[in-house]
Structures are given as structure tokens and as C-alpha cells.
Amino acid sequence: MVDVLLGLQWGDEGKGKIVDYLAKNYDIIARFQGGPNAGHTLYVKDKKVVLHTIPSGVFHGHIQNIIGNGVVLDPVTFKKECEEIESYGVDLKKNLFISQKTHIIIPTHRALDKASENAKGSAKIGSTLKGIGPAYMDKTGRNGIRVGDLLAPDFHAKYDALKEKHFQLLKQYDVVEDITEWEKEFFASLDKLRSMNIINAEYWLDDKLKQNKKILAEGAQGSMLDVDFGTYPYVTSSNTTVAGVCSGLGISAKYIDRVIGITKAYCTRVGGGPFPTELHDEVGEQLRATGNEFGATTGRPRRCGWIDLVALRYACMISGVDTLIMTKADVLNEFEWINVCTSYKVNGLETTEFPYNVCDAEIEPQYTEMRGWRRSLDDTKDLLTMPAELIKLIDVIENHTKARVKFVSNGVGRDQIVPI
Ligand code: GDP
Ligand code: IMO
Ligand code: MG
């Protein structure tokens, strides 16, 4: 069976920590979309590690990890990540597998990302500039290079042809990018990738499923960044919702069991685009400072706001989320009052539907004000020891989303999590 774990907001919900925590219940952790735009933080022996492409189960000896065909992989980031993980004594040759069909990001993808963003002016998406959009464009445009191609004798010819195509595109942006250094790094990183277990992943996974192995599919980004259902065009270039799992791993939908969604107790977004509950005042500042809301991949300050149950309900609906995990509850410890957005006024009309025209409409979030718990959650071990105000907040979330909150995370540490 396959359980799926998804971020339900605009990313950075704490997926890395939660996958690391849940990993003990699984045999395999699988990444099915996204790429080095992701930054999943976890702690190993009290040291912070940020994973970009490699699944967050990699520090558990018994677990196998797989990078699926739906991921776009940058060999340069990948090599650095491997070296950091290997410095902890992890044997990646034993526990990491990569689909031959995973597309790779080449240096000119990054150059195109930058040129495309610059050309957008004030309508910038705020991309991580890791080459994600251009790499997925080449995938669907049928020009891409896949990990399996690295092993073929015509790899260099394929690379040169794609690079040439990209240079032509860059000319249209009036950009001449010197990629000498990027290219050096790129070619120096390829042998690392070639030395890994590059496999026919669909057959490998089918075999595991037939052996009744338990798989956790680890989402990257969040539902509101989904290319179809997010706040388009301010989104990433993959399906971050449950639909991405089958196409990003090559497994049948009939194997999907639980869909677990992660939400922060408030909301953040990094980069451009609509964010109805964003706070531009000192409350937003307080959330950023207390929650240490700075990007794990780019270091950019994250925009902060109240939890948005209109967006959350929508995200749960799209993916059929049955289990919720709330992270960063501890960040609200000091707040006397907490706001929860339960509906929007869109151009003056009240609705609980997430609107199509979210980028253009005037959206006024309608809030329910709730009392905060004003104490540390360090001693909260279960529902009995949980502050009544937090239980109330959970009730409101469950009522709106119709999903059950099963865990509340109350700190960055591996064991700072409360089952309920
Ligand atoms: P991901 O992309 O969803 O894996 O999330 P990130 O790693 O980008 O960002 C989440 C940040 O919140 C990381 O710095 C985590 O260490 C931190 N974090 C996760 N859960 C909690 C929590 O319950 N409380 C606090 N204070 N921090 C948390
Ligand atoms: P994790 O997995 C938060 C955002 C970028 C930008 C938009 C498009 O750590 O939750 P892209 O690089 O894909 O072209 O950027 O999406 N974005 C993320 N925001 N967390 C992420 O990943 C993100 N990955 C992309 O900031 O607004
Ligand atoms: Mg992140």
C-alpha cells in the first residue's frame, strides 16, 4: 500500500520533519515531483540537514528511498546532497534508487529560469531559480534529458542539442549567459549520479507492492503551488496534489491508502502571488521571528499570515486528505488571540469556495477570533495535557476540512510531536 504525505499550503509546512518521524512505519519513502526547489529540514543527531531531492527517510537504516520519474533532478545539487548525507555514514548505494525516467536539470535550464523571471518584471513568480519551470517545459515539450540517458553513448550529443536550443531561447530574452562555471560543476557531478542505483522504477515498485511493502510518497511544495489547482500562474510546475503520485512514480491509484496532509497552525508563502490572509503588520513580523520563517532553500523571508481554512478545505478536497498533521503550534504559544479565516468576501460576496480569480479579485478574509493558550507546549504529551484553546482550534479545523487531526508538532526536534 502507498500512503501519501502532502503539504497543504504554499510549501514549508514541515514535511521533512514529519516524514522523518513517520518513516519508521514504512519500508520505502518515495519522492514523486518537484526538485531542488524543495528544502525539507530535519535534524540528525541535533544537526540540521536540509534535503532537496533525496527523500527524507534516508537517515533510517532499514528504509529504501526512491526518486521517481516525476522529479526533476539537478546533478550538481544532488552530488552535494549525497556528500552531506554520506558524511553521516549513510550508505546511499544501498538505500537510494533513482528512476531512469527522472528528468535532469542542465545549466541552461537555470539560465532560462533567471531570464524568464527577469522578463516578468513586477509579475515575478519569485521562483527559486533552480531551473524547475524550464526543465518541466522540456519534459512536456519532449526535449528533455533523462537520468537513463546519462548512461547512453549519445548523451553528449543530446546535451549539446538541448543547450543550443536553450541558447536560441536566451537570445529571445536578449540574454547572453556565461555558463562556463555552471557547466564545469555539472560535468563534474555526473559520475556521482551515474554511480547510483539507476533503475526501471515502475517494475521495482510493482515488485515491492506485491511483496506488501509499505510506501510513503513524500510530496514537495504544497497544494496551493500545484500547477493546476494552485494560485496559477504563481505556482510551481508540477502536480503537488495526490494526482502527482501515480504519474510521478508509475503506480496504480488502487494502491493509494491514506492521504496525510500537513498544515502549519498559521500560514506562510515565499515568493510572489496571492496570499489572502497575509499579515503586513507586527503580528506577521512576530510569526516570522518566532517561527524562524526564512526559506530552507533560498534563505528568503517567508510571508506570514493566519491559517486559511478556505484554502485548506480546498486542498483537502482535491487530494482526499483523511489525516491532518498540524505543525508549528508552538509558534503561537505567546499569542493572546489567534485568527482563523473561515470564509472570504470576494468582490463583496461571501464564499467558502476558493475562487478562480484569486489573483485579480479583491479578497477580504473573514475571521473567527479564538483565544490563544499562552503557555509552552513542551509538556503537552497527549490530548489530556493539551491546552483547551488548542483543542478548540483543532475542532474548528476538523469541522471545516472534515479531516481528522492526528498529530500536533510542537517544536523542530524529531520527538517534538504529540499524537492525538
Ligand atoms: P518542508 O519544506 O515542508 O519540509 O518545511 P521546511 O523544512 O522548509 O520548513 C519548516 C521549518 O519549520 C523547518 O525549519 C523545521 O525545522 C521547522 N519546524 C517543523 N516543525 C516544527 C514545529 O512543530 N515547530 C517549530 N517551531 N518548527 C518546526
Ligand atoms: P518545499 O518542498 C515553498 C515557490 C517559490 C515560487 C514558486 C515557483 O520546501 O515546501 P519554482 O522554483 O518552483 O519555479 O518556484 O514556488 N516554491 C516553494 N515555496 N516551499 C517549497 O518547497 C517551494 N518550491 C517552490 O518560492 O514562489
Ligand atoms: Mg521547505
Nearest-CA neighbor of 33 among 62, 60, 58, 7?
7
In the structure, what pLDDT confidence band is assigned to residue 216 with cuts at 50, 70 and 90?
Answer: very high
In the structure, what pLDDT confidence band is assigned to residue 406 with cuts at 50, 70 and 90?
Answer: very high
- Ligand 2: atom nearest CA of 40 is 9
- List, in order, residues 6 or more apart from 367 with CB less than 8 Å away: 306, 339, 340, 341, 342
pLDDT, mean of residues 287-303: 93
Q: For 299-340, write each residue's pLDDT tens digit.
A: 899 999 999 999 999 999 999 999 999 999 999 999 999 999
Is the Cβ–Cβ distance between 79 and 191 less than 8 Å?
no
Query: Using a 6 Å cutoff on CB, does residue 106 contact ligand 2?
Result: no
Is the Cβ–Cβ distance between 124 and 114 less than 8 Å?
no
Query: Using a 6 Å cutoff on CB, does residue 221 contact ligand 2?
Result: yes
Cα(8)–Cα(6) distance, integer angstroms = 6
What DSSP element (H or E) covers 161? Answer: helix 155-172
Q: State the distance from the centre of ligand 3 to the C-alpha of 348, rounded, in angstroms.
A: 34
3-state helix, strand, coil in the chain (%, to 5): 35, 25, 40
Identify whether 20 is a catalytic site residue.
no
Cα(118)–Cα(181) distance, integer angstroms = 21
Q: Is the pLDDT of residue 47 over 90?
A: yes
Which residue's C-alpha comes closest to atom 3 of ligand 2? 11
Residue-range domains of the chain with CATH = 2-100+199-260 (3.40.440.10), 103-193 (1.10.300.10), 263-419 (3.90.170.10)
Which residue carries 537570445 as its cell? 171
Query: Using a 6 Å cutoff on CB, does residue 133 contact ligand 2?
Result: yes
Q: Is the pLDDT of residue 7 over 90?
A: yes
Mean residue pLDDT across the chain: 97
pLDDT, mean of residues 260-285: 97
Q: What is the structure's pLDDT at 213?
A: 98
Cα(127)–Cα(25) distance, integer angstroms = 34
Q: What is the structure's pLDDT at 36?
A: 98
Q: What is the structure's pLDDT at 383?
A: 96
Out of 3, 20, 27, 40, the active site residue is 40
Beta bridge partners, 278, equal 305
- Please write down the long-range contacts of 205-212, taking CB distance under 8 Å and 24 or more positions apart: 205/28, 205/30, 205/66, 205/249, 205/250, 205/251, 206/251, 208/27, 208/28, 209/1, 209/2, 209/251, 209/255, 212/1
Q: What percent of the chain has a predicted confidence (pLDDT) above 70?
A: 100
Query: Using a 6 Å cutoff on CB, does residue 301 contact ligand 2?
Result: no
**314 alpha-carbon distance from chain centroid:** 17
3-state SS assignment for residue 43: strand
Q: For 20, which DSSP code?
A: H
pLDDT, mean of residues 220-233: 98
Residue type, 333: N
Beta bridge partners, 44, equal 47
Q: For 175-203, write each residue's pLDDT tens digit.
A: 889 999 999 999 999 999 999 999 999 99
Which residue's C-alpha comes closest to atom 25 of ligand 2? 37
C-alpha dihedral (356, 359, 364, 369), degrees to nearest 10: 90
- Ligand 1: atom nearest CA of 292 is 14
Q: State the distance from the centre of ligand 3 to the C-alpha of 33, rounded, in angstroms.
A: 14
Is the Cβ–Cβ distance between 124 and 117 less than 8 Å?
yes
- List, in order, residues 6 or more apart from 169 with CB less than 8 Å away: 112, 115
Cα(186)–Cα(60) distance, integer angstroms = 29
Nearest-CA neighbor of 220 among 205, 189, 241, 199?
241
- Ligand 1: atom nearest CA of 220 is 2
Q: State the distance from the centre of ligand 1 to the C-alpha of 183, rounded, in angstroms.
A: 33
In the structure, what pLDDT confidence band is assigned to residue 285 with cuts at 50, 70 and 90?
Answer: very high
C-alpha count within 13 angstroms, C-beta hemisphere, residue 266: 31
Query: Using a 6 Å cutoff on CB, does residue 128 contact ligand 2?
Result: yes
Query: Using a 6 Å cutoff on CB, does residue 412 contact ligand 1?
Result: yes
- List, in order, residues 6 or more apart from 178 with CB less than 8 Å away: none
Q: What is the structure's pLDDT at 45?
A: 86
Q: What percent of the chain has a predicted confidence (pLDDT) above 90?
A: 97
Q: State the distance from the centre of ligand 1 to the C-alpha of 411, rounded, in angstroms.
A: 8
C-alpha count within 13 angstroms, C-beta hemisphere, residue 229: 24
Query: Using a 6 Å cutoff on CB, does residue 166 contact ligand 2?
Result: no
Query: Using a 6 Å cutoff on CB, does residue 268 contact ligand 2?
Result: no
Identify whether 174 is a catalytic site residue.
no
Q: Is the pLDDT of residue 296 over 90?
A: no
Nearest-CA neighbor of 407 among 396, 390, 419?
419
Which residue's C-alpha comes closest to atom 11 of ligand 1? 14
pTM of this structure: 0.98
Q: For 57-91, write each residue's pLDDT tens digit.
A: 999 999 999 999 999 999 999 999 999 999 999 99
In the structure, what pLDDT confidence band is assigned to residue 297 with cuts at 50, 70 and 90?
Answer: confident
- List, in order, residues 6 or more apart from 271 with CB less than 8 Å away: 125, 126, 127, 128, 234, 300
Q: State the distance from the centre of ligand 3 to the C-alpha of 126, rounded, in angstroms.
A: 15
